[in-house]
């Protein structure tokens, strides 16, 4: 596997991680990802809610959480409160219902700033991958100078493509957030 292939793979993983982290930012409707990765203490292990319950969206504005074990309802409720995501679960005994209110203009703007910061972190990760790859290519004295130059150009091109993709993903998410 060449250095370029490794770079492409690592950058793809960074992009996937960035996209996954964006799923936890609210847009206008209810989304199971808002709560799915919140962890509770389940038999002594930190376990995401989505592994111990079913999470569904009802009527586009409510999230319904049905734990597989009824004794987990209170623990899930506490974890959602502790996560401080601005949602209030209603305990119905055997399940939790979360009514997702529409976003205010101020909250939408806060989320767009958060998306921008997350995009910048993803770009930094991509640039760090580029730096490491460039260092590896430059240190390898067995590579001829012209091949080395070609590899550095390919790595830069992959970096530019990844950053462009991050910008596109962030712009799409911001558009979703600002759509009422």
Q: Is residue 126 in some structural domain?
A: yes
Convert the pLDDT of each residue in 34-76 to its tens digit: 888 888 888 888 889 889 999 888 887 888 999 998 888 898 8
Flag whether 28 is in a domain. no
pLDDT digits (tens, 9 = 90+) for 86-140: 788 999 989 999 888 877 888 888 889 999 999 999 999 999 999 999 999 889 8
What's the predicted TM-score (pTM) here? 0.73
Same structural domain for residues 170 and 143? yes
Pair 54, 155: CB distance under 8 Å:
no
Contact criterion met (CB below 8 Å) for 158 and 9: no
Q: What is the DSSP letter of 60?
A: T
Does 114 lie in the same domain as 50?
no
* 75 found inside a domain: yes
Angle in degrees, CA 81, 55, 64, rounded to 5: 65
> Rg (Cα) of the chain, in Å, rounded?
21
């Amino acid at each position: 596997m060449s250095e370029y292939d490794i770079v492409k793979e690592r950058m793809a993983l960074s992009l996937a991680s960035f996209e996954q982290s964006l799923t936890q930012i609210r847009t206008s409707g209810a989304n199971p990802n808002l709560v799915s990765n919140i962890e509770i203490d389940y038999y002594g292990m930190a376990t995401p809610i989505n592994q111990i319950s079913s999470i569904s969206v009802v009527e586009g504005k409510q999230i319904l959480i049905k734990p597989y074990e009824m004794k987990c309802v209170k623990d899930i409720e506490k974890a959602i409160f502790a996560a401080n995501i601005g949602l209030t679960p209603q305990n119905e005994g055997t399940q939790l219902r979360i009514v997702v209110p529409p976003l205010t203009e101020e909250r939408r703007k806060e989320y767009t700033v958060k998306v921008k910061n997350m995009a910048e972190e993803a770009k930094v990760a991509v640039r760090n991958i580029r730096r490491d790859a460039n260092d590896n290519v430059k240190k390898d004295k067995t590579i001829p100078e012209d091949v080395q130059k070609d590899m550095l150009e390919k790595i830069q091109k992959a970096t530019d493509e990844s950053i462009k993709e991050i910008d596109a993903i962030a712009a799409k998410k911001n558009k979703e957030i600002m759509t009422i």
